[in-house]
């Protein structure tokens, strides 16, 4: 979404291709398709199955038809299909890593190495979103040459409903603070630890927590909150929200309890919204939560998370000068490291490098007129 929003200013034309029908009849999440099209992106649906042997050739034809200069893939299935189609079409491809998959068994280790081997040989360049991810990829793939550290950036938050209206909608009492957690509701995102951390808070801590996001655990989380009087009073389960920036603007701080995470966009959004963060010290999260931007705690420890939340509440209530400085530090980190302008400039340079590395005969007919399609 952020690439589609910011790309025109960098002379990049964006073509989005959905490969499979895993989400719905359209092939990708139908909440995203109209938003992408409204931003000017061209969206194609191939409606292929995971083991559809025609997918590579069909995508190759689409690359030709759209006069694509470079293919940018995300996640394993797209890495294989997109990388192979790009090679067949004689255009470079870039793969962005989205996980840090630490092997736990010998067979798991073999699967990880096979996946990284395929990515290494199908992609011209590989993007790591965080320093932890870069180290993981280099360790398990043996590839230190094609990997580039390039954290995601996001666009400036758009103005929306005022904070008072959002807090009123969520039933935040006068004098209470609002923390938000914006995340897919999956086991590795740590919602169980967060709910336990909220249970452990002293009753006098004035806090309401809003949980935004969709996923397989949404129903279970709702049931857990509805069946616990303490959680009923403190927690609002919102499900999917398209107004994440407005939720952050209405909040006092952002919480992220993940057990693993490459580079959570929700925390970059917190920086953009000048909100401090309480999060777990895993994956790429320490790359986001720089000095003075918030608090980091050990993952999988609800008591430590609860203490971090209580400390942030205490700072906001009892030491507003320190709290305001944390807000300023968060915003400064966004501007220096995670703004869309910085990200897009670096991404455009990576695209250009990959395109220029191709032999002229392999890319001549795919050059656009003053723009690159990805």
Q: Nearest to residue 367, comparing CAs of 124, 69, 87, 94?
A: 69
Residue percentage of the chain with pLDDT more than 70? 92
Asked whether the domain spanning 163-338 has the same topology as the one spanning 2-154+339-373, the reply is: yes
Query: How many Å separate Cα 91 from the centre of its chain?
Result: 26
The CATH homologous superfamily of the domain defined by 163-338: Glycogen Phosphorylase B; (3.40.50.2000)
List the domain boundaries for the chain: 2-154+339-373, 163-338
Matching residue, tokens 């006092």: 252
- Give percent helix, percent strand, percent coil of the chain, each to the nearest 5: 50, 15, 35
Which of 4-18, 41-55, 94-108, 184-198 shows the highest mean pLDDT? Answer: 184-198
Tokens of 64: 């030709």
**What are the tens digits of pLDDT across the range 225-270?**
999 999 999 999 999 998 999 999 999 999 999 999 999 999 999 9
Residue percentage of the chain with pLDDT more than 90? 71
Higher pLDDT, 202 or 29: 202
Residue 313 is predicted with a pLDDT of 99
Range with the poorest average pLDDT among 117-121, 168-172, 295-299: 117-121
Q: How far is the C-alpha of 133 from the C-alpha of 267, rounded, in Å?
A: 17
Residue 116 is predicted with a pLDDT of 86
Residue 29 confidence class, pLDDT cut points 50, 70, 90: low
Residue 48 is predicted with a pLDDT of 84
Report the predicted TM-score, pTM, of the whole model to 2 decimal places: 0.86
Residue 115 is predicted with a pLDDT of 84
Residue 35 is predicted with a pLDDT of 81
Residue 368 is predicted with a pLDDT of 37
3-state secondary structure of 296: strand
Please determine, for residue 285, whether its predicted confidence score (pLDDT) is greater than 80.
yes
Residue 26 confidence class, pLDDT cut points 50, 70, 90: very low
Residue 373 is predicted with a pLDDT of 58
Residue 27 confidence class, pLDDT cut points 50, 70, 90: very low
Higher pLDDT, 302 or 28: 302
DSSP classification of residue 154:
B
**What are the tens digits of pLDDT across the range 35-58?**
888 888 899 988 887 778 899 999
Burial of 336 (0-12, 13-18, 19+ CB in 10 A): exposed
Residue 8 confidence class, pLDDT cut points 50, 70, 90: confident
Please determine, for residue 364, whether its predicted confidence score (pLDDT) is greater than 60.
no
Q: Are 180 and 254 in contact (CB under 8 A)?
A: yes
Handedness of CA 173, 176, 177, 183 (dihedral sign): negative
The CATH homologous superfamily of the domain defined by 2-154+339-373: Glycogen Phosphorylase B; (3.40.50.2000)
Residue 361 is predicted with a pLDDT of 45
Q: Mean pLDDT in the chain?
A: 90
């Amino acid at each position: 979404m952020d690439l589609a929003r910011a790309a025109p200013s960098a002379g990049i034309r964006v073509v989005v291709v959905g490969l499979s029908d895993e989400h719905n009849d359209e092939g990708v999440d139908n909440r995203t398709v109209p938003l992408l099209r409204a931003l000017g992106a061209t969206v194609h649906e191939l409606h292929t199955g995971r083991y559809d042997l025609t997918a590579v050739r069909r995508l190759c034809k689409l690359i030709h038809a759209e006069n694509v200069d470079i293919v940018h893939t995300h996640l394993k299935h797209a890495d294989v299909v997109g990388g192979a189609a790009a090679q067949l079409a004689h255009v470079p491809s870039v793969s962005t890593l989205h996980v840090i998959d630490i092997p736990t068994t010998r067979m798991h280790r073999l699967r990880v190495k096979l996946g990284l081997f395929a990515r290494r040989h199908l992609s011209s360049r590989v993007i790591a979103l965080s320093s932890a991810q870069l180290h993981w990829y280099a360790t398990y793939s043996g590839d230190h040459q094609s990997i580039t550290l390039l954290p995601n950036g996001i666009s400036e938050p758009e103005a929306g409903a005022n904070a008072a209206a959002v807090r009123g909608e969520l039933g935040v009492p006068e004098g209470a603070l609002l923390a938000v957690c914006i995340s897919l509701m999956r086991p590795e995102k740590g919602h169980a630890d967060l709910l336990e951390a909220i249970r452990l808070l002293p009753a006098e801590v004035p806090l309401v927590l809003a949980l935004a996001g969709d996923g397989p655990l949404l129903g279970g989380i709702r049931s857990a909150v509805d069946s616990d009087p303490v959680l009923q009073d403190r927690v609002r389960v919102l499900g999917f929200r398209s107004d994440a920036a407005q939720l952050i603007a209405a909040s006092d701080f952002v919480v992220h309890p993940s057990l693993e995470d490459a580079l959570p966009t929700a925390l970059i959004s917190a920086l953009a919204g000048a909100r401090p963060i309480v999060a777990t010290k895993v994956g790429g999260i320490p790359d986001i939560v720089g000095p003075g931007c918030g608090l980091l705690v050990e993952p999988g420890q609800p008591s430590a998370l609860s203490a971090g939340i209580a400390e942030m509440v205490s700072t906001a209530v009892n030491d507003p000068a320190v709290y305001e400085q944390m807000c300023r530090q968060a915003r400064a980190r966004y501007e220096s490291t995670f703004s869309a302008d910085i990200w897009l400039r670096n991404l455009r340079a990576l695209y250009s490098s990959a395109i220029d590395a191709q032999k002229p005969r392999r890319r001549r007919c795919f050059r656009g007129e003053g723009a690159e399609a990805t």
